[in-house]
Chains A and B, each alone.
Chain A
Amino acid sequence: MMRMPWFGWQSPATIAEAAKILAGEGPQAMLIAGGTDLVPNMKRRHQTPATLVSLRRVAELRKIANGAGLTLGAGLTLTEIVDSAAVREKYRGFWQAAAQVASPHLRNMGTLGGNLCLDTRCTYYNQSLEWRKAIDYCLKKDGETCWVATASKRCVAVSSTDSAPALISLGAKVKLVSAQGEREVAVADLYKNDGIDYLVRKPEEILTEVVLPDAQGWRSTYWKLRRRGSFDFPVLGVAAAVKLAADGTVEQARLALGAVASRPFLVDKGGEFLKGRKLTDEAIAEAGAIVASRAKPMDNTDLDLYWRKDVVGSFVGHALREIRGDDMRAMRMRIARQAL
Protein backbone atom coordinates (compact mmCIF):
# COMPACT_ATOMS: atom_id res chain seq x y z
CA MET A 1 0.00 0.00 0.00
CA MET A 2 1.19 3.53 -0.77
CA ARG A 3 1.68 5.31 2.53
CA MET A 4 2.25 8.84 3.75
CA PRO A 5 5.63 9.83 5.15
CA TRP A 6 5.81 10.84 8.79
CA PHE A 7 4.58 14.36 9.58
CA GLY A 8 3.61 16.58 12.47
CA TRP A 9 0.03 17.70 12.75
CA GLN A 10 -1.64 20.98 13.69
CA SER A 11 -5.31 21.72 13.54
CA PRO A 12 -6.04 25.38 14.21
CA ALA A 13 -9.59 26.68 14.61
CA THR A 14 -9.18 30.14 13.10
CA ILE A 15 -7.48 31.72 10.12
CA ALA A 16 -5.40 33.89 12.45
CA GLU A 17 -4.21 30.85 14.36
CA ALA A 18 -3.35 29.03 11.14
CA ALA A 19 -1.47 32.06 9.82
CA LYS A 20 0.48 32.23 13.04
CA ILE A 21 1.50 28.58 12.82
CA LEU A 22 2.61 29.05 9.22
CA ALA A 23 4.65 32.11 10.17
CA GLY A 24 6.29 30.17 12.97
CA GLU A 25 7.04 26.95 11.13
CA GLY A 26 8.20 28.48 7.88
CA PRO A 27 8.21 26.69 4.53
CA GLN A 28 8.53 23.24 6.13
CA ALA A 29 4.86 23.50 7.03
CA MET A 30 2.12 23.02 4.48
CA LEU A 31 -1.58 23.65 4.54
CA ILE A 32 -3.97 20.79 4.03
CA ALA A 33 -7.69 21.12 3.42
CA GLY A 34 -9.36 18.34 1.41
CA GLY A 35 -6.06 16.56 0.94
CA THR A 36 -6.96 15.26 -2.53
CA ASP A 37 -3.92 16.92 -4.11
CA LEU A 38 -1.43 16.91 -1.24
CA VAL A 39 -2.00 13.40 0.11
CA PRO A 40 -1.23 11.60 -3.18
CA ASN A 41 1.72 13.93 -3.66
CA MET A 42 3.03 13.14 -0.21
CA LYS A 43 2.57 9.41 -0.81
CA ARG A 44 4.75 9.80 -3.88
CA ARG A 45 7.18 11.97 -1.90
CA HIS A 46 6.73 15.11 -3.99
CA GLN A 47 6.17 17.03 -0.82
CA THR A 48 7.34 15.89 2.58
CA PRO A 49 6.37 18.72 4.90
CA ALA A 50 7.48 18.40 8.50
CA THR A 51 4.14 19.78 9.61
CA LEU A 52 0.70 19.67 8.13
CA VAL A 53 -1.59 22.50 9.12
CA SER A 54 -5.15 21.33 8.67
CA LEU A 55 -7.77 23.89 7.74
CA ARG A 56 -10.67 21.53 8.41
CA ARG A 57 -11.70 23.10 11.70
CA VAL A 58 -11.59 26.68 10.42
CA ALA A 59 -15.25 27.61 10.18
CA GLU A 60 -14.51 31.00 8.60
CA LEU A 61 -13.31 29.25 5.48
CA ARG A 62 -16.70 27.72 4.85
CA LYS A 63 -18.94 30.77 4.48
CA ILE A 64 -21.06 31.73 1.51
CA ALA A 65 -21.95 35.43 1.46
CA ASN A 66 -24.15 37.26 -0.98
CA GLY A 67 -23.39 40.89 -1.64
CA ALA A 68 -23.03 42.74 -4.90
CA GLY A 69 -21.46 39.53 -6.10
CA LEU A 70 -20.75 36.37 -4.19
CA THR A 71 -18.09 35.52 -1.65
CA LEU A 72 -17.15 31.90 -1.22
CA GLY A 73 -14.96 30.52 1.54
CA ALA A 74 -11.97 28.65 0.19
CA GLY A 75 -12.73 25.73 2.49
CA LEU A 76 -16.04 24.93 0.82
CA THR A 77 -15.89 21.59 -0.91
CA LEU A 78 -16.42 21.48 -4.64
CA THR A 79 -19.62 19.55 -3.99
CA GLU A 80 -20.83 22.43 -1.81
CA ILE A 81 -19.98 24.84 -4.64
CA VAL A 82 -21.93 22.67 -7.09
CA ASP A 83 -24.86 22.49 -4.67
CA SER A 84 -24.99 26.29 -4.33
CA ALA A 85 -27.98 27.66 -6.20
CA ALA A 86 -26.31 31.08 -6.38
CA VAL A 87 -23.32 29.65 -8.16
CA ARG A 88 -25.41 27.53 -10.49
CA GLU A 89 -27.71 30.36 -11.49
CA LYS A 90 -25.35 33.31 -11.72
CA TYR A 91 -21.97 31.82 -12.49
CA ARG A 92 -22.76 28.99 -14.82
CA GLY A 93 -19.24 28.58 -16.18
CA PHE A 94 -17.79 28.28 -12.70
CA TRP A 95 -20.52 25.84 -11.73
CA GLN A 96 -19.81 23.72 -14.80
CA ALA A 97 -16.10 23.78 -14.00
CA ALA A 98 -16.61 22.75 -10.39
CA ALA A 99 -19.04 20.01 -11.43
CA GLN A 100 -16.41 18.48 -13.70
CA VAL A 101 -13.49 18.42 -11.29
CA ALA A 102 -12.16 14.89 -10.79
CA SER A 103 -14.88 12.53 -9.48
CA PRO A 104 -17.84 12.79 -7.10
CA HIS A 105 -15.84 11.54 -4.12
CA LEU A 106 -12.96 13.87 -4.83
CA ARG A 107 -15.39 16.78 -5.07
CA ASN A 108 -16.84 15.76 -1.73
CA MET A 109 -13.36 16.12 -0.25
CA GLY A 110 -11.51 18.67 -2.37
CA THR A 111 -12.00 22.34 -1.66
CA LEU A 112 -12.29 25.45 -3.77
CA GLY A 113 -9.04 26.79 -2.36
CA GLY A 114 -7.32 23.50 -2.99
CA ASN A 115 -8.40 23.42 -6.60
CA LEU A 116 -7.09 26.95 -7.13
CA CYS A 117 -3.75 26.08 -5.52
CA LEU A 118 -3.51 22.68 -7.24
CA ASP A 119 0.07 21.65 -7.86
CA THR A 120 1.02 21.77 -11.53
CA ARG A 121 1.10 18.38 -13.19
CA CYS A 122 3.33 16.50 -15.57
CA THR A 123 3.61 12.85 -16.56
CA TYR A 124 7.30 12.99 -15.60
CA TYR A 125 6.43 14.37 -12.18
CA ASN A 126 3.20 12.73 -11.04
CA GLN A 127 4.92 9.40 -10.49
CA SER A 128 6.29 7.54 -7.52
CA LEU A 129 9.71 8.25 -6.06
CA GLU A 130 11.00 4.99 -7.59
CA TRP A 131 9.71 5.90 -11.04
CA ARG A 132 11.27 9.34 -10.87
CA LYS A 133 14.54 7.77 -9.79
CA ALA A 134 14.44 5.75 -13.03
CA ILE A 135 14.52 8.97 -15.07
CA ASP A 136 17.03 10.59 -12.72
CA TYR A 137 14.24 12.93 -11.57
CA CYS A 138 13.20 16.10 -13.36
CA LEU A 139 13.49 19.83 -13.11
CA LYS A 140 10.35 20.22 -11.02
CA LYS A 141 11.57 17.94 -8.26
CA ASP A 142 15.08 16.76 -7.36
CA GLY A 143 16.45 16.78 -10.93
CA GLU A 144 18.10 19.07 -13.44
CA THR A 145 16.44 18.30 -16.75
CA CYS A 146 12.95 19.05 -17.97
CA TRP A 147 12.22 15.86 -19.89
CA VAL A 148 9.31 17.46 -21.70
CA ALA A 149 11.52 20.12 -23.24
CA THR A 150 15.11 19.17 -22.55
CA ALA A 151 16.44 22.59 -23.60
CA SER A 152 14.05 24.41 -21.29
CA LYS A 153 15.37 26.11 -18.19
CA ARG A 154 11.80 26.52 -17.00
CA CYS A 155 9.58 23.72 -15.75
CA VAL A 156 6.63 23.33 -18.10
CA ALA A 157 4.36 21.31 -15.79
CA VAL A 158 0.78 22.07 -16.65
CA SER A 159 -1.81 23.96 -14.65
CA SER A 160 -4.68 21.55 -14.21
CA THR A 161 -7.23 23.49 -12.23
CA ASP A 162 -10.73 23.68 -13.69
CA SER A 163 -12.07 26.38 -11.43
CA ALA A 164 -9.33 28.92 -12.15
CA PRO A 165 -10.00 29.55 -15.85
CA ALA A 166 -13.71 29.81 -15.09
CA LEU A 167 -13.08 32.26 -12.26
CA ILE A 168 -10.64 34.25 -14.41
CA SER A 169 -13.28 34.65 -17.11
CA LEU A 170 -15.70 35.86 -14.45
CA GLY A 171 -13.25 38.43 -13.11
CA ALA A 172 -13.02 36.88 -9.65
CA LYS A 173 -10.50 37.73 -6.96
CA VAL A 174 -9.04 35.82 -4.05
CA LYS A 175 -8.07 36.96 -0.59
CA LEU A 176 -4.66 35.96 0.74
CA VAL A 177 -4.11 36.19 4.47
CA SER A 178 -0.91 35.90 6.44
CA ALA A 179 0.25 36.86 9.90
CA GLN A 180 1.47 40.12 8.33
CA GLY A 181 -1.90 41.07 6.90
CA GLU A 182 -4.09 40.35 3.94
CA ARG A 183 -4.32 41.24 0.27
CA GLU A 184 -6.64 40.72 -2.65
CA VAL A 185 -5.39 39.34 -5.94
CA ALA A 186 -7.31 38.85 -9.14
CA VAL A 187 -7.44 35.14 -9.99
CA ALA A 188 -5.96 36.14 -13.35
CA ASP A 189 -2.91 37.43 -11.46
CA LEU A 190 -2.65 34.55 -9.01
CA TYR A 191 -0.55 32.41 -11.36
CA LYS A 192 2.89 32.50 -12.91
CA ASN A 193 3.85 30.61 -16.05
CA ASP A 194 6.36 28.48 -14.20
CA GLY A 195 5.66 24.87 -13.37
CA ILE A 196 7.61 25.09 -10.11
CA ASP A 197 6.86 28.55 -8.82
CA TYR A 198 3.34 28.71 -10.21
CA LEU A 199 1.53 30.79 -7.59
CA VAL A 200 2.07 34.35 -6.41
CA ARG A 201 0.79 33.15 -3.06
CA LYS A 202 3.63 33.09 -0.53
CA PRO A 203 4.13 29.92 1.56
CA GLU A 204 2.94 31.75 4.67
CA GLU A 205 -0.23 33.02 3.04
CA ILE A 206 -3.60 31.31 3.25
CA LEU A 207 -6.04 31.61 0.39
CA THR A 208 -9.18 32.27 2.40
CA GLU A 209 -11.90 33.28 0.01
CA VAL A 210 -12.97 33.84 -3.54
CA VAL A 211 -14.86 37.01 -4.40
CA LEU A 212 -17.01 36.93 -7.49
CA PRO A 213 -18.20 40.26 -8.93
CA ASP A 214 -21.79 40.97 -9.77
CA ALA A 215 -22.72 38.93 -12.82
CA GLN A 216 -25.72 40.91 -13.98
CA GLY A 217 -25.93 40.69 -17.77
CA TRP A 218 -23.14 38.14 -18.10
CA ARG A 219 -23.38 34.66 -19.51
CA SER A 220 -20.62 32.19 -18.87
CA THR A 221 -19.64 28.67 -19.72
CA TYR A 222 -16.81 26.17 -19.28
CA TRP A 223 -15.84 23.36 -21.66
CA LYS A 224 -13.49 20.76 -20.37
CA LEU A 225 -11.61 18.28 -22.50
CA ARG A 226 -10.52 15.05 -20.91
CA ARG A 227 -10.44 11.45 -21.94
CA ARG A 228 -13.13 10.13 -19.59
CA GLY A 229 -16.26 11.55 -18.06
CA SER A 230 -14.73 11.37 -14.60
CA PHE A 231 -11.46 11.40 -12.66
CA ASP A 232 -9.32 13.00 -15.34
CA PHE A 233 -7.70 16.40 -15.07
CA PRO A 234 -8.36 18.72 -17.98
CA VAL A 235 -6.09 18.58 -21.00
CA LEU A 236 -7.89 21.70 -22.16
CA GLY A 237 -10.26 24.02 -20.37
CA VAL A 238 -12.06 26.80 -22.21
CA ALA A 239 -13.89 29.34 -20.08
CA ALA A 240 -15.91 32.14 -21.58
CA ALA A 241 -17.86 34.96 -20.00
CA VAL A 242 -19.68 37.38 -22.26
CA LYS A 243 -21.86 40.39 -21.61
CA LEU A 244 -24.34 40.75 -24.41
CA ALA A 245 -26.45 43.78 -25.32
CA ALA A 246 -30.14 43.26 -25.95
CA ASP A 247 -29.51 42.95 -29.69
CA GLY A 248 -26.86 40.28 -29.18
CA THR A 249 -23.85 42.55 -29.61
CA VAL A 250 -20.94 41.65 -27.38
CA GLU A 251 -20.34 44.43 -24.87
CA GLN A 252 -17.58 42.64 -23.01
CA ALA A 253 -16.01 39.23 -23.36
CA ARG A 254 -13.41 37.33 -21.43
CA LEU A 255 -11.99 34.08 -22.74
CA ALA A 256 -9.63 32.03 -20.59
CA LEU A 257 -7.71 28.85 -21.20
CA GLY A 258 -6.69 26.17 -18.76
CA ALA A 259 -4.37 23.17 -19.03
CA VAL A 260 -2.35 24.46 -21.97
CA ALA A 261 0.43 26.19 -20.00
CA SER A 262 1.82 26.28 -16.48
CA ARG A 263 -0.88 28.76 -15.62
CA PRO A 264 -4.46 29.41 -16.61
CA PHE A 265 -4.68 32.68 -18.52
CA LEU A 266 -6.93 35.21 -20.13
CA VAL A 267 -6.68 35.56 -23.90
CA ASP A 268 -7.21 39.31 -24.07
CA LYS A 269 -7.12 39.43 -27.84
CA GLY A 270 -9.97 36.98 -28.10
CA GLY A 271 -12.19 39.08 -25.86
CA GLU A 272 -11.20 42.28 -27.61
CA PHE A 273 -11.97 40.79 -30.99
CA LEU A 274 -15.50 39.89 -29.93
CA LYS A 275 -16.26 43.28 -28.41
CA GLY A 276 -18.77 45.14 -30.55
CA ARG A 277 -19.50 42.12 -32.73
CA LYS A 278 -22.37 39.72 -32.79
CA LEU A 279 -21.68 36.05 -32.16
CA THR A 280 -21.95 35.00 -35.79
CA ASP A 281 -20.42 31.74 -36.97
CA GLU A 282 -17.67 33.74 -38.62
CA ALA A 283 -16.90 35.78 -35.49
CA ILE A 284 -16.88 32.61 -33.41
CA ALA A 285 -14.49 30.90 -35.83
CA GLU A 286 -12.17 33.91 -35.80
CA ALA A 287 -12.23 34.14 -32.01
CA GLY A 288 -11.50 30.42 -31.91
CA ALA A 289 -8.47 30.88 -34.13
CA ILE A 290 -7.17 33.77 -32.01
CA VAL A 291 -7.54 31.81 -28.80
CA ALA A 292 -6.10 28.64 -30.33
CA SER A 293 -2.96 30.50 -31.35
CA ARG A 294 -2.23 31.11 -27.68
CA ALA A 295 -2.50 27.49 -26.58
CA LYS A 296 0.88 25.85 -26.11
CA PRO A 297 0.18 22.30 -24.97
CA MET A 298 3.20 20.16 -24.17
CA ASP A 299 3.74 16.42 -24.25
CA ASN A 300 3.31 16.06 -20.52
CA THR A 301 -0.26 15.03 -20.05
CA ASP A 302 -2.86 12.75 -21.61
CA LEU A 303 -3.67 12.69 -25.34
CA ASP A 304 -1.65 13.79 -28.35
CA LEU A 305 -0.33 17.31 -27.94
CA TYR A 306 -0.79 18.39 -31.56
CA TRP A 307 -4.35 17.19 -31.47
CA ARG A 308 -4.94 19.07 -28.23
CA LYS A 309 -3.85 22.24 -29.96
CA ASP A 310 -5.92 21.41 -33.06
CA VAL A 311 -9.16 21.22 -31.11
CA VAL A 312 -8.87 24.45 -29.11
CA GLY A 313 -10.76 26.38 -31.79
CA SER A 314 -13.58 23.85 -31.76
CA PHE A 315 -13.89 24.06 -28.00
CA VAL A 316 -13.97 27.86 -28.09
CA GLY A 317 -16.70 27.41 -30.67
CA HIS A 318 -18.69 25.13 -28.36
CA ALA A 319 -18.39 27.70 -25.60
CA LEU A 320 -19.41 30.72 -27.66
CA ARG A 321 -22.26 28.85 -29.32
CA GLU A 322 -23.60 27.89 -25.94
CA ILE A 323 -23.39 31.53 -24.89
CA ARG A 324 -25.13 32.57 -28.10
CA GLY A 325 -28.00 30.34 -27.04
CA ASP A 326 -27.49 27.38 -29.36
CA ASP A 327 -28.72 24.07 -28.05
CA MET A 328 -25.42 22.43 -27.15
CA ARG A 329 -26.85 19.68 -24.99
CA ALA A 330 -26.04 16.84 -27.38
CA MET A 331 -22.47 18.04 -27.87
CA ARG A 332 -22.07 18.58 -24.13
CA MET A 333 -23.25 15.06 -23.51
CA ARG A 334 -20.74 13.69 -25.97
CA ILE A 335 -17.83 15.65 -24.51
CA ALA A 336 -18.66 15.76 -20.80
CA ARG A 337 -20.80 12.59 -20.75
CA GLN A 338 -23.23 14.40 -18.49
CA ALA A 339 -25.74 17.21 -18.76
CA LEU A 340 -24.29 20.44 -17.40
Chain B
Amino acid sequence: MSAVPDRVHATLRVNGEDQQVSFAPYKTLLEVLREDLNLTGTKHGCELGECGACAVLVDGEPLLSCLELAVQCEGRDIQTIEGLAKGTELHPLQAAFADHGGSQCGYCTSGMVMTAKALLDKEPAPSRERIREALAGNLCRCTGYQQIWESVESAAKALREGKR
Protein backbone atom coordinates (compact mmCIF):
# COMPACT_ATOMS: atom_id res chain seq x y z
CA MET B 1 0.00 0.00 0.00
CA SER B 2 1.29 3.41 -0.93
CA ALA B 3 1.83 5.82 1.93
CA VAL B 4 -0.68 8.67 2.14
CA PRO B 5 1.07 12.01 2.61
CA ASP B 6 -0.53 14.82 4.63
CA ARG B 7 0.15 17.36 1.94
CA VAL B 8 1.27 17.31 -1.64
CA HIS B 9 3.18 20.10 -3.30
CA ALA B 10 2.46 21.00 -6.87
CA THR B 11 2.88 23.75 -9.40
CA LEU B 12 -0.42 24.58 -11.01
CA ARG B 13 -0.66 26.84 -14.02
CA VAL B 14 -3.70 28.97 -13.31
CA ASN B 15 -4.76 31.85 -15.55
CA GLY B 16 -1.34 31.85 -17.15
CA GLU B 17 0.64 32.01 -13.91
CA ASP B 18 2.51 29.22 -12.19
CA GLN B 19 1.27 28.83 -8.64
CA GLN B 20 3.21 26.87 -6.05
CA VAL B 21 0.65 25.25 -3.86
CA SER B 22 0.58 22.72 -1.07
CA PHE B 23 -2.66 20.92 -0.28
CA ALA B 24 -4.19 17.79 1.23
CA PRO B 25 -4.05 15.07 -1.43
CA TYR B 26 -7.76 14.29 -1.28
CA LYS B 27 -8.61 17.73 -2.59
CA THR B 28 -10.24 18.31 -5.90
CA LEU B 29 -9.22 21.15 -8.17
CA LEU B 30 -12.30 23.01 -6.91
CA GLU B 31 -11.11 22.85 -3.33
CA VAL B 32 -7.59 23.90 -4.18
CA LEU B 33 -8.73 26.82 -6.32
CA ARG B 34 -11.13 28.09 -3.69
CA GLU B 35 -9.35 27.22 -0.46
CA ASP B 36 -5.67 27.21 -1.25
CA LEU B 37 -5.46 29.78 -4.05
CA ASN B 38 -8.36 31.99 -2.85
CA LEU B 39 -9.91 31.92 -6.31
CA THR B 40 -13.47 31.85 -5.04
CA GLY B 41 -14.97 32.94 -8.35
CA THR B 42 -15.36 29.24 -9.11
CA LYS B 43 -18.51 28.08 -7.29
CA HIS B 44 -19.85 24.81 -6.02
CA GLY B 45 -23.44 23.62 -6.03
CA CYS B 46 -23.27 19.87 -5.46
CA GLU B 47 -19.66 18.65 -5.53
CA LEU B 48 -20.88 15.50 -7.30
CA GLY B 49 -20.83 16.57 -10.94
CA GLU B 50 -24.54 17.27 -11.08
CA CYS B 51 -24.80 21.04 -11.60
CA GLY B 52 -21.90 22.62 -13.52
CA ALA B 53 -21.36 25.54 -11.13
CA CYS B 54 -17.70 24.59 -10.71
CA ALA B 55 -16.82 24.41 -14.42
CA VAL B 56 -13.36 25.69 -15.31
CA LEU B 57 -11.27 25.29 -18.43
CA VAL B 58 -8.47 22.76 -18.33
CA ASP B 59 -6.38 22.80 -21.48
CA GLY B 60 -9.22 24.77 -23.03
CA GLU B 61 -11.94 22.21 -22.27
CA PRO B 62 -14.70 22.87 -19.75
CA LEU B 63 -14.36 20.36 -16.93
CA LEU B 64 -16.00 20.02 -13.55
CA SER B 65 -13.43 21.05 -10.98
CA CYS B 66 -15.37 19.21 -8.26
CA LEU B 67 -14.53 15.87 -9.89
CA GLU B 68 -11.01 16.67 -11.03
CA LEU B 69 -8.36 15.63 -8.54
CA ALA B 70 -5.94 18.46 -8.00
CA VAL B 71 -2.99 16.05 -8.10
CA GLN B 72 -3.91 15.28 -11.69
CA CYS B 73 -3.71 18.93 -12.75
CA GLU B 74 0.02 19.55 -12.62
CA GLY B 75 1.29 20.72 -15.97
CA ARG B 76 -2.14 21.54 -17.32
CA ASP B 77 -3.42 24.95 -18.29
CA ILE B 78 -6.21 25.97 -15.92
CA GLN B 79 -8.43 28.95 -16.64
CA THR B 80 -10.94 30.35 -14.18
CA ILE B 81 -13.38 33.24 -14.27
CA GLU B 82 -10.80 35.45 -12.58
CA GLY B 83 -8.51 35.17 -15.58
CA LEU B 84 -10.99 36.10 -18.24
CA ALA B 85 -11.09 39.87 -18.13
CA LYS B 86 -8.22 41.82 -19.67
CA GLY B 87 -7.26 44.13 -16.85
CA THR B 88 -10.45 46.00 -16.03
CA GLU B 89 -11.90 45.35 -19.47
CA LEU B 90 -14.50 42.60 -19.36
CA HIS B 91 -14.45 39.72 -21.77
CA PRO B 92 -17.38 40.17 -24.18
CA LEU B 93 -19.08 37.21 -22.55
CA GLN B 94 -18.82 38.83 -19.15
CA ALA B 95 -20.11 42.14 -20.49
CA ALA B 96 -22.98 40.39 -22.24
CA PHE B 97 -23.99 38.40 -19.16
CA ALA B 98 -24.00 41.62 -17.13
CA ASP B 99 -25.95 43.57 -19.75
CA HIS B 100 -28.51 41.08 -21.03
CA GLY B 101 -29.75 39.36 -17.90
CA GLY B 102 -27.47 36.34 -18.25
CA SER B 103 -26.63 36.72 -14.61
CA GLN B 104 -29.29 37.09 -11.92
CA CYS B 105 -28.04 35.71 -8.62
CA GLY B 106 -24.69 35.20 -10.31
CA TYR B 107 -23.95 31.86 -8.74
CA CYS B 108 -23.99 29.77 -11.91
CA THR B 109 -22.41 32.59 -13.91
CA SER B 110 -18.76 31.58 -13.61
CA GLY B 111 -19.43 28.05 -14.83
CA MET B 112 -21.73 29.30 -17.57
CA VAL B 113 -19.29 31.92 -18.82
CA MET B 114 -16.32 29.54 -18.85
CA THR B 115 -18.33 26.88 -20.66
CA ALA B 116 -19.55 29.44 -23.17
CA LYS B 117 -16.00 30.63 -23.70
CA ALA B 118 -14.89 27.13 -24.68
CA LEU B 119 -17.78 26.98 -27.13
CA LEU B 120 -17.01 30.34 -28.74
CA ASP B 121 -13.31 29.50 -28.95
CA LYS B 122 -14.28 26.58 -31.18
CA GLU B 123 -17.42 27.87 -32.84
CA PRO B 124 -17.52 31.64 -33.33
CA ALA B 125 -21.09 31.63 -34.66
CA PRO B 126 -23.00 28.91 -32.86
CA SER B 127 -26.71 28.44 -33.47
CA ARG B 128 -29.16 28.76 -30.57
CA GLU B 129 -29.37 24.95 -30.57
CA ARG B 130 -25.61 24.58 -30.26
CA ILE B 131 -25.55 27.06 -27.39
CA ARG B 132 -28.28 25.14 -25.61
CA GLU B 133 -26.39 21.89 -26.07
CA ALA B 134 -23.07 23.32 -24.94
CA LEU B 135 -24.64 24.75 -21.77
CA ALA B 136 -26.66 21.62 -21.01
CA GLY B 137 -24.25 20.74 -18.22
CA ASN B 138 -24.79 24.01 -16.33
CA LEU B 139 -27.89 24.31 -14.23
CA CYS B 140 -29.36 27.73 -13.56
CA ARG B 141 -32.32 28.27 -11.26
CA CYS B 142 -32.91 31.97 -11.89
CA THR B 143 -32.97 32.85 -15.53
CA GLY B 144 -34.82 30.09 -17.33
CA TYR B 145 -31.69 30.14 -19.56
CA GLN B 146 -33.16 32.35 -22.28
CA GLN B 147 -31.23 35.49 -21.37
CA ILE B 148 -28.13 33.32 -21.03
CA TRP B 149 -28.54 32.09 -24.60
CA GLU B 150 -29.09 35.68 -25.67
CA SER B 151 -25.99 36.80 -23.77
CA VAL B 152 -23.86 34.17 -25.50
CA GLU B 153 -25.26 35.17 -28.89
CA SER B 154 -24.55 38.82 -28.17
CA ALA B 155 -21.00 38.05 -27.06
CA ALA B 156 -20.38 35.86 -30.10
CA LYS B 157 -21.42 38.73 -32.31
CA ALA B 158 -19.19 41.16 -30.44
CA LEU B 159 -16.25 38.77 -30.73
CA ARG B 160 -16.84 38.25 -34.43
CA GLU B 161 -16.88 41.99 -34.88
CA GLY B 162 -13.47 42.12 -33.30
CA LYS B 163 -14.54 43.73 -30.05
CA ARG B 164 -11.66 41.91 -28.44
Is chain B in direct contact with chain A in the complex (CB below 8 A)? yes
Binding site for B on A (CB under 8 A): 1-11, 25, 28, 32, 34-36, 39-40, 43-44, 50-52, 54, 56, 79, 102-106, 108-109, 229-231, 338-339
A102: B residues at CB distance < 8 A? 49, 137
CB of B48 closer than 8 Å to a CB of A: yes
Task: Report 30 cross-chain contacts, Cβ distance below 8 Å, ordered by A residue.
Answer: A1-B31, A1-B44, A1-B47, A2-B48, A3-B47, A7-B4, A11-B72, A25-B2, A34-B67, A35-B68, A35-B69, A39-B67, A40-B48, A40-B67, A43-B47, A43-B48, A50-B4, A51-B2, A52-B69, A54-B69, A54-B72, A102-B49, A104-B133, A105-B49, A105-B63, A105-B64, A106-B49, A109-B68, A230-B136, A231-B137
Alpha-carbon separation in the docked complex, A52 to B8 (Å)? 15
User: B47–A6 contact, CB under 8 A?
Assistant: no
Contact A8 B2 (CB under 8 A): yes
- Bound complex: CA of A204 vs CA of B118, how far in Å? 37
Per a CB cutoff under 8 Å, which of A4, A108, A230 touches B26?
A4
- B66: chain A residues at CB < 8 Å are 39
B71 within 8 A of A: yes
Select from chain A the residue with minimum beta-carbon distance to B35.
A1
Q: Is there an interface contact between B26 and A6, defined as CB atoms closer than 8 Å?
A: yes
Whether the pair A8, B63 counts as a contact (CB closer than 8 A) is no
**Does residue B52 face the partner (Cβ distance < 8 Å to A)?**
yes
Closest 8 CB pairs of A and B: A103-B137, A8-B2, A230-B136, A2-B47, A4-B26, A105-B137, A40-B48, A39-B67
Check A104/B134 contact, CB under 8 A, given A10-B2, A35-B67, A35-B69. yes
Is B105's beta carbon under 8 Å from chain A?
Answer: no
Chain A residues closer than 8 Å to B55, beta-carbon distance: 105
B76 — nearest CB in chain A belongs to which residue? A56
Q: Number of residue pairs across A and B with beta carbons under 8 Å?
A: 108
At the interface, yes or no: B61 with Cβ under 8 Å from chain A?
A: yes
* Chain B residues in 8 Å Cβ range of A39: 28, 49, 66-67, 69
User: With a CB–CB cut-off of 8 A, which chain A residues contact B71?
Assistant: 9, 11
Contacts known (A40-B48, A43-B48); A338 close to B69, Cβ less than 8 A: no
**Known A1-B44, A8-B4, A25-B1: A108·B61 in contact at CB below 8 Å:** yes
Query: Nearest residue in B to A35 (C-beta to C-beta)?
Result: B67
Q: A3-B27, A50-B1 are in contact. List 10 more A-B contacts (CB 8 A).
A: A8-B4, A9-B8, A9-B69, A35-B69, A44-B48, A54-B69, A104-B133, A105-B138, A106-B64, A339-B129
Known contacts A39-B49, A106-B137, A109-B67, A28 near B1 by CB under 8 Å: yes
Task: Indicate if the CB atoms of B129 and A338 lie closer than 8 Å.
Answer: yes
In whole angstroms, what is the CA distance A56 to B52 when docked? Answer: 22
Distance, CA A229 to CA B61, complexed state (A): 21
Q: Which residues of A contact B3 (CB under 8 A)?
A: 8
Residues in A neighbouring B102, C-beta threshold 8 A: none
What residues of B have a CB within 8 angstroms of the CB of A338 in the complex? 129, 132-133
B107 nearest CB across to chain A (Å): 15
A125 to chain B, nearest CB (A): 14
Contact (Cβ within 8 A) B47 A230: no
Q: What separation, in Å, do the CA atoms of A28 and B49 have in the docked complex?
A: 25
B62 within 8 A of A: yes
A240 to B93, CA, bound (A): 42
Are B50 and A231 within 8 A (Cβ)? yes
Chain B residues contacting A54 (CB-CB under 8 Å) are 69, 72
Most chain A CB neighbours (cut-off 10 Å) among B2, B8, B31, B71: B2
